[in-house]
Amino acid sequence: MTVAAEPQGLNFECETGNYHTFCPISCVAWLYQKIEDSFFLVIGTKTCGYFLQNAMGVMIFAEPRYAMAELEEGDISAQLNDYEELKRLCLQIKRDRNPSVIVWIGTCTTEIIKMDLEGLAPRLESEIGIPIVTARANGLDYAFTQGEDTVLAAMAARCPEKAPMVEGEKKEKNAIASLLNFGKKKEDIATEESEYVKHPPLVLFGSLPDPVVTNLTLELKKQGIKVSGWLPSKRYTELPVLEEGYYVSGVNPFLSRTATTLMRRRKCKLIGAPFPIGPDGTRAWIEKICSVFNIEPKGLDEREAQIWASVEDYVKLLRGKSVFLMGDNLLEISLARFLIRCGMTCPEIGIPYMDKRYQAAELALLEKTCHEMGVPTPRIVEKPDNYNQIQRIHELHPDLVITGMAHANPLEARGINTKWSVEFTFAQIHGFTNTRDILELVTRPLRRNNNLKDLGWDKLVKEEAKV
């Protein structure tokens, strides 16, 4: 059955939701590094702590700016007062680390015992004098990268509403620009401003490593587009101004709550574009932003062609091969679209959660890519069932399975190539420049095979898994 409203040809399914993924509290791992003056307090149990400790490996030893508020039996049975307990811990954090913001991460346990974190935070905030942002990144509702979404959605509420006016420059129209240029000479500002086309302020959202932020900002600058700010920025104290009517655009596919919050609460206009992953995605992203601002994009054709030419040695390895994405981090649609453009086929895309509105442009590009490359459209399986998927993998025998670590070694032992999906979350994969990095990851198992071929060691289990 085809539904006319949906992108024609794409086939959406939903399974049991019994799949392996990281708990969304893992977002503290990259967010505390990104937001340098923050402290993340995960309010949960030993189970949460054990996960963080093991998932983050060596990071734990680097005096991280995060900790567990470990709930004890007295907290569960409400013998202890939540407010007093949290106050005690937050004061300790203030004394030891003096952060500019404390982010409370609510967990499954705080949900079940209905601890009113959103209610407690403003009271405690005014009492201890440090902003407290509450994000409910729990495993009851969310998967892995969606944790970042809940944190950024909460942060969006904290972005300043009006750019503060700088003394003597009050007449200047673009107040945010003057803020950013504070301290520079008038002439410098003038020349800098002339490099940009006049357009309404644009704020990008999504946490990316600083080098990628610089890179994407520069990419837009080439088109004369000025990025007024990023959510999140390097420091909490530097959160971007969000006035009504500002334009916003997401750089990652898992940020639907943040997008909704920016539209509904902050009255921003969302530029729905494919995500800048792979040269095709980056180009489509820039083109879409340009089109909204009525800018004729320059030199993107050559740019994209140049990138493709420079990675031909890797793309050659992928052409004609098939890839199966089991689904755990919501990057799946964009990755599959890029890999199909590289010449791969893709029978199945598993994904924890599919926001068809937020990802509309990405889904349309996926479909277009399939048609242009002459390959069948993949089935998109929301809330996949890992057991069923493994049966399908045994039937299909794909050349590559992108999956979590729980399945990677067992599949390898059965002669199926795998790439650990979590690496895509931590590697730099955005923009033209990082195309090679994605391909480096994707082709690694295939290159390993080329090195080890003829050894006859590809099946290393005694009996096949029972079906």
- Whether residue 268 is annotated as binding a ligand: the answer is no
| Integer Cα distance of 335 and 338 in angstroms | 5
| Integer Cα distance of 1 and 9 in angstroms | 10
- Whether residue 159 is annotated as binding a ligand: the answer is no
Cβ proximity to other proteins: between 143 and 333 the closer is 143
- Whether residue 290 is annotated as binding a ligand: the answer is no
Cβ proximity to other proteins: between 1 and 460 the closer is 460
| Integer Cα distance of 139 and 123 in angstroms | 27
| Integer Cα distance of 196 and 226 in angstroms | 6
**Least distance (Å) between residue 355 CB and other proteins:** 17
- What is the DSSP secondary structure assignment for residue 54, as one 8-state letter? H
| Integer Cα distance of 108 and 199 in angstroms | 44
Q: Are 337 and 280 contacting, i.e. CB atoms less than 8 angstroms apart?
A: yes
**Least distance (Å) between residue 104 CB and other proteins:** 12
**Least distance (Å) between residue 7 CB and other proteins:** 27
**Least distance (Å) between residue 307 CB and other proteins:** 6
**Least distance (Å) between residue 267 CB and other proteins:** 29
Cβ proximity to other proteins: between 278 and 378 the closer is 278
| Integer Cα distance of 185 and 5 in angstroms | 53
**Least distance (Å) between residue 83 CB and other proteins:** 11
| Residues forming a β-bridge with 44 | 70
**Least distance (Å) between residue 437 CB and other proteins:** 9
Q: Are 206 and 255 contacting, i.e. CB atoms less than 8 angstroms apart?
A: yes
Cβ proximity to other proteins: between 15 and 169 the closer is 15
Cβ proximity to other proteins: between 165 and 465 the closer is 465
| Integer Cα distance of 23 and 139 in angstroms | 6
Angstrom CA distances, 412 to 11, 33, 336, 407, 454, stand at 29, 33, 21, 9, 16
The 10 Å Cβ neighbour count of residue 322 is 18
Spell out the residues 6+ positions from residue 176 whose beta carbon is closer than 8 angstroms to its own: 163, 201, 228, 229, 240, 241
Cβ proximity to other proteins: between 248 and 408 the closer is 408
Which contiguous run of DSSP H or E holds residue 55? helix 46-55
Backbone phi and psi for residue 6, each to the nearest 5 degrees, phi listed first: -85, 160
Closest CA to 176 of 156, 190, 161: 161
Cβ proximity to other proteins: between 199 and 414 the closer is 414
**Least distance (Å) between residue 156 CB and other proteins:** 23
**Both structure tokens of 467:** 């079906």
| Integer Cα distance of 285 and 431 in angstroms | 9
| Integer Cα distance of 178 and 65 in angstroms | 33
Cβ proximity to other proteins: between 99 and 378 the closer is 99
**Both structure tokens of 307:** 């990138």
**Least distance (Å) between residue 164 CB and other proteins:** 26
Cβ proximity to other proteins: between 121 and 346 the closer is 121
- Cα angle value 382/387/392 (rounded, 5°): 80
Q: Are 407 and 20 contacting, i.e. CB atoms less than 8 angstroms apart?
A: yes
**Least distance (Å) between residue 312 CB and other proteins:** 13
The string of DSSP letters for 101-151 reads EEEEEE-HHHHHTT--HHHHHHHHHHHHTS-EEEEE--TTT--TTHHHHHH
| Residues forming a β-bridge with 105 | 42, 135
Annotated binding residues for [4Fe-4S] cluster: 23, 48, 108
Annotated binding residues: 23, 48, 108
